[in-house]
Amino acid sequence: MTDTTRFTGHAALITGAARGIGAATAARLAREGARVLLTDVDPDAAERTAEALRGRGLAVEARVCDVTDRASAEAAVAHAADTFGALDVLVNNAYSCTPDTGRFEDEPDTTWARDLDTTLTGAYRCCRAALPHLAASGRGAIVSIGSVNGVQDFGNHAYSAAKAGLASLTRTLAGHAAPRGVRVNLVVPGTVRTTAWEGRDAQLAAVRRLYPLGRVGEPDDIAAAVAFLASRDAAWITGTTLTVDGGLTAVNAGFRQAVAEVT
């Protein structure tokens, strides 16, 4: 539990925030003083999360937002700016990850379109709507949630391509937005224990052995990184990728283990 107040007076909008990383980020920013608009395509789940956070005395509101719909994304941004009087932080967390088919040539166009439209183009829509407000705030920051899937092969063709695209968008938008005083950065998580892994404890246990730090991530691990990049502690950081993956992409644990087993 943090007791800092880095976001006192700030307003933030988070997409895909009803659960998991998004919900943890909403809690983290609100605990540090931000007023947070928690958005999700599932309005009931978003409201339950917001209600739970308000029960802890945090300034959180919920609103439905479908990032695949331009009007919905723009309405959410406008609501945040109107309700809070400004918008200082945008966190792009909404995503879609559809399991691959057995063979690449059997992948339907709908899978590709859905994953890219939600994960990459959805972030683009939100950035486009939010940028004027972030520039006007004088301390605007965009933090998008990438994935190690955008860096190495962990399966999921469309999702991985979308996450790799977010890294490129982060760099190009950072250059465009810097003269307007807006910073743009990306957090790249490894495996994080969220609802996406519910009922897959055996798989999580197997995956854990591949992490040099000996565990998979928790939503709070990613929320802490987002809070840093969104805060003035990162005032001279833009266009960067912060990898938060327990050492997964830096250390080939499987190789080390294979060598150790025959040594």
Q: Return the HEC string of 24-40.
A: HHHHHHHHCCCEEEEEE
The amino acid at residue 94 is A
CB atoms within 10 A of CB 75: 17
Euclidean distance between CA atoms 39 and 122, whole angstroms: 13
Catalytic choice (95, 124, 159, 211): 159
CA distances from 137 to 19, 102, 134, 141 (A): 28, 48, 5, 10
Q: Which helix (H) or strand (E) holds 189?
A: strand 183-189
Q: Which helix (H) or strand (E) holds 56?
A: none
Q: Which two tokens stand for residue 40?
A: 């999700």
Euclidean distance between CA atoms 25 and 91, whole angstroms: 9
Catalytic residue check, 159: yes
- Whether the CB-CB separation of 174 and 239 falls below 8 Å is answered with yes
Backbone conformation region of residue 182, classed left if phi is above 0, alpha if psi is from -120 to 50, else beta: beta
- Whether the CB-CB separation of 7 and 234 falls below 8 Å is answered with no
- Whether the CB-CB separation of 172 and 178 falls below 8 Å is answered with no
Q: Kindly list the catalytic residues.
A: 159
